[in-house]
Structure 1
Amino acid sequence: MIRRVTAPGPFPPPVHPHASVVEAGTRPAFLAGAVPPDADGALVDAGAPVRQAGRVLAGLEEQLRAAGSDPAHAVPTGAYVVADDPAVLAAVRDVVEASGPSAGPHASPLLGVACPGHPGRAVEITATAVVPDAAAGAR
């Protein structure tokens, strides 16, 4: 259903694919705004990117399931982290790469940004996922 492709040049292949090809017979779901609130909608771990990343990913998995998909069907994800310290970005990358939506070969940019959309948010993640047709799952 999803074929991940890594181009051999003009540079050495990274550990993640450069492109994902989605088979016909599926529908896309575009998810944005996975942010770190608690069950009551209050922001948690304000300004703490590594701690917020896990909560954001849990929320993203919930959004995927609500859309009729699951973490294995996330094609790309994009993480935006309020940080300019490479060590902080690397720590968030570790959390993201260990998550369901980003497991295995995965096109997943990670960007350090200067200013959050809302005060205290240190991480936001977007995703595009495949929503499989029931018939496609039966193939």
Structure 2
Amino acid sequence: MNTVRLVRSRTLAEHVEYAYAASVPNPARVVWTAGACPLDESGATVAVGDHAGQAHQVMRNLRTALRDAGAELSDVVKTTVYVASSRQEDLVAVWDVVREHMGDHDAPSTLLGVSVLGYDHQLVEVEAVAVVAEG
């Protein structure tokens, strides 16, 4: 049973690739993730210089972190996507990868261009909040 109810607005733009809000009934357990980074098992940054390649690794790492906490991508109620770029096409390339991994579950999200991220050669980071039913 999916605990998350995605909310679409009848008065805001219809042609966006995400829900405008999400709600969850009680009781539920909330999972906050750290920002998932484009690191491999040894801690090295993958796909240096490739926004989309890093986004794929980030989403694989996010899925793993969620599963380790007892959640799935379909339990996500909100994501924040950080892209180290001032170019809109780089943000769109990352967003396309995030949407691919999220599938039909178009949870509310914020997409940001930032000047720098924490690891050497890091271009992408995604953090999420997920909610799973208790009981």
Normalising by structure 2, what TM-score?
0.89
Cα deviation, residue 76, structure 1: 0.9
* Alpha-carbon separation, structure 2, partners of 1:16 and 1:36: 23
Aligned to 2:101: 99
Aligned to 2:86: 84
Match of 2:36 among 34, 37, 44: 34
2:106 is paired with a residue of what secondary structure? coil
Question: Which is worse superposed, 56-65 or 81-90?
Answer: 81-90
Max Rg structure: 1
Aligned to 2:70: 68
Give the letter for the 1:17 counterpart: A
Give the gaps of 5 or more residues in structure 2: none
Runs ≥4 in structure 1, deviation > 3 angstroms? Answer: none
* Alpha-carbon separation, structure 1, partners of 2:18 and 2:44: 34
Normalising by structure 1, what TM-score?
0.86
Cα deviation, residue 90, structure 1: 1.1
Cα deviation, residue 12, structure 1: 2.1
Match of 2:21 among 19, 22, 26: 19
**1:65-121 deviation line (CA, Å, top 9, x unaligned):** 000111110111111001111111111111010113x64332011111111123211
Aligned to 1:50: 52
Cα RMSD (Å) = 1.5
CA contact (8 A) 1:67 1:131 kept: no
**1:43-83 deviation line (CA, Å, top 9, x unaligned):** 22233221100000000000000001111101111110011
* Alpha-carbon separation, structure 2, partners of 1:12 and 1:43: 37
Give the letter for the 1:64 counterpart: L
Cα deviation, residue 126, structure 1: 0.2
* Alpha-carbon separation, structure 2, partners of 1:23 and 1:47: 42
